[in-house]
Structure 1
Amino acid sequence: MLDDRSKLLMKALVEHYIADGQPVGSRTLSKASGLELSPATIRNVMSDLEELGLIASPHTSAGRIPTARGYRLFVDTMLTVQPGSYGAHSLTPDQPQKVISNAANLLSNLSQFVGVVIAPRRTSVFRHIEFMRLSERRLLVIIVSPDGDVQNRIIFTEVDYTPAQLSEASNFLNTHYLGLDMQDVRQRLQGELESLRSEIGTLMQAAVNVSSEAISETQDEVVISGERNLLSVSDFSSDMGHLRRAFELFEQKTQLMRLMDVAGQAEGVRIFIGGESQVVPFEDLSIV
């Protein structure tokens, strides 16, 4: 348990390091904290904080920097968040792509770091399905998702369907299965095959299979904004290898998806410091 003086110095050290990016010495901390303490007294407190694992001394400097444990203490007990005013930012829902892009830009501008937004996963539900004959035993399946996205797939059939049969199949699917998940459609259709003409039932089964594949193939969309802000962070600008690895993470996006899956298991705001996310590539970063 820290006393009030140690808390004030710890808070001042973290805030100064976040703002400046350089190890903080006792003289600098004396000015930043506003406490009338001698550098010697401050050095003693810093020594105690170091023994507790809250700060550390880089090999190249006499100053101190926060450790992951120190950052966690700061976030949990010392950080005060002022409510922001976001009235100037309009995120209208009529254009999903623009909303996602604007949200990423907003996060980046507010934090002055990198903003990442992942679009919600699409469910395998269709709003409309239609068949178009391309040639003998070759059909185009047109699938419209609830958000208006259109997917086209070509299927090959053992039967040369007439336009009337294609219309009958699409009308049946649109009437009976609109808004249902493809897995539910497949199960219900299996039970109703006996009441359908065999060739029509076979066509609809093929359509449901290809529709489910088309929708599930659509990957989660990841929008990233503000990567260039990393150039102003001393830890990155002074270590090109570190900077390169960060850019590779954002480019591949796979690890970002893993991180979002972990964060999605908790309610509200989640803050990962260092290796807390257990996603190894992010163990040198803090993520909100």
Structure 2
Amino acid sequence: MLDERAKSLLKTLVERYIADGQPVGSRTLSKASGLELSPATIRNVMADLEELGLIVSPHTSAGRIPTPRGYRLFVDTMLTTRPMDLSQAPPELAAAREQLHPDQPQRVIAQAAQLLSSLSSFVGVVTAPKKQSVFRHIEFLRLGEKRVLVILVAPDGDVQNRVIFTAHDPSQSELVEASNYLNAHYAGLTIEEVRERLKGEIDALRGEIAGLMQAAVQVGTEATESQEQVIVSGERNLLGVQDFGDLGSLRKLFDLFEQKTQLMRLLDTSSRAEGVRIFIGGESRVVPYEELSVVSAPYEVDGQVVGTLGVIGPTRMAYDRMIQIVDITSRLVGHALSQR
């Protein structure tokens, strides 16, 4: 537990370092904190903070910088941000509403990632809405011996085509019969619901129809899995951040954006929480890079969480501003997607 004096000095040190990017010395702290303390007293408090692992002295500098643990304490106990109504937002945030056009979900997601990047000057990342694959209509076309084209039409008009190989060579009339049966009994259900119903009905169906239905379920599953799940915008912004001056660090970050698997894991964690979450680099396996922090929030459509978005940038970021950007953008995205 820190006393009020130590908390005040740590808060001042973090704010000065975020603003200037330079290690903060006792003289700067004395002026900026507004506390009437002698330089010797401030040095003693800084030594205590360093012993607690909250600040550290880089190289031979006489100043100190926050550690991930120091940032965490600052974010959790010293940062005061209130949910902002859009009418109270700065002009650049209020104007964001005009940039999100609700005509196509994928376009909204791409625009949101670009918006987060431009407003933060860092990296914007958005997971696409989790949508279950539902088919409105299905058709089978014979291509040749044991080769069948499956055409799956979704309610929004999206069409998926796949060529499948069958155990026996069905006639076109058998394929039409299978299409009619599927459209009559399964249209409008999600692929997962079709799969569950098939478990109970498969024995009662003729073998060729059952096989085609299972193939159709597989096509629908692959179509869902092939959708781009994470949209990333503004990676090049990190090239100009002095905190990432080391080429090895930058390479690791760009590998993270390229693979996206770790990003999905991180953002999935955010989607299970309410409101804005902050991940400080190096404090957990979720964000394994010390120089990196993530500010994220889930977004909702019709009261249901369908995805997550956030800003990825240096640990030395203006967290209060990033929280506002992420919070407002999550609400704008949810609103835009609900207008469809």
Instruction: Tell me the TM-score normalised to structure 2 length.
Output: 0.74
CA contact (8 A) 1:159 1:199 kept: no
| 2:53 counterpart residue number | 53
Measure, in 2, the Cα distance between the counterparts of 1:7 and 1:226.
35
Structure 1 segment 96-245 matched on structure 2, within 5 A: 96-157=105-166, 158-162=168-172, 164-189=173-198, 191-192=200-201, 196-212=205-221, 214-237=222-245, 239-245=246-252
CA contact (8 A) 2:68 2:290 kept: no
| 1:18 counterpart residue number | 18
Q: 1:58 to 1:194 in 2, by over 3 A?
A: closer
Measure, in 2, the Cα distance between the counterparts of 1:148 and 1:58.
58
Measure, in 2, the Cα distance between the counterparts of 1:51 and 1:204.
65
Amino acid at match of 2:151: I
Higher RCO (C-alpha under 8 Å, 6+ residues apart): 2
Q: 1:217 to 1:52 in 2, by over 3 A?
A: closer
Match of 1:262 among 266, 269, 290: 269
Q: Could you say what secondary structure the match of 2:288 adopts?
A: helix
Query: Based on CA coordinates, which of the two structures has the bigger radius of gyration?
Result: 1
Structure 1 segment 25-104 matched on structure 2, within 5 A: 25-81=25-81, 83=84, 84-85=89-90, 86-90=93-97, 91-104=100-113
Measure, in 2, the Cα distance between the counterparts of 1:65 and 1:6.
15
Q: Give the Å deviation of 1:255.
A: 1.5
Q: Give the Å deviation of 1:283.
A: 4.4
Measure, in 2, the Cα distance between the counterparts of 1:87 and 1:76.
27
CA contact (8 A) 1:120 1:220 kept: no
Q: 1:29 to 1:195 in 2, by over 3 A?
A: same
Measure, in 1, the Cα distance between the counterparts of 2:153 and 2:289.
38
Measure, in 1, the Cα distance between the counterparts of 2:224 and 2:280.
33
Q: Give the Å deviation of 1:79.
A: 0.7
Q: 1:72 to 1:178 in 2, by over 3 A?
A: same
More strand by share: 2
Measure, in 1, the Cα distance between the counterparts of 2:156 and 2:65.
48
Q: 1:119 to 1:282 in 2, by over 3 A?
A: farther
CA contact (8 A) 1:137 1:161 kept: no
CA contact (8 A) 2:136 2:153 kept: yes
Gaps of 5+ in 1: none
CA contact (8 A) 1:144 1:150 kept: yes
Q: Give the Å deviation of 1:187.
A: 4.1
Q: 1:193 to 1:65 in 2, by over 3 A?
A: closer
CA contact (8 A) 2:281 2:287 kept: no
Instruction: Tell me the TM-score normalised to structure 1 length.
Output: 0.86
Amino acid at match of 1:61: S
Aligned length: 285
Q: 1:227 to 1:210 in 2, by over 3 A?
A: closer
Q: 1:234 to 1:143 in 2, by over 3 A?
A: same
Q: 1:232 to 1:41 in 2, by over 3 A?
A: farther
Amino acid at match of 2:31: K
Measure, in 1, the Cα distance between the counterparts of 2:145 and 2:223.
26
Q: Could you say what secondary structure the match of 1:117 adopts?
A: strand
Measure, in 2, the Cα distance between the counterparts of 1:32 and 1:232.
28
Q: Could you say what secondary structure the match of 1:205 adopts?
A: helix
CA contact (8 A) 2:146 2:165 kept: yes
* CA deviation string 1:49-68 (max 9, x = no partner): 22222211112311101112
| 1:246 counterpart residue number | 253
Q: Give the Å deviation of 1:117.
A: 0.8
Gaps of 5+ in 2: 296-340
Measure, in 1, the Cα distance between the counterparts of 2:284 and 2:212.
47
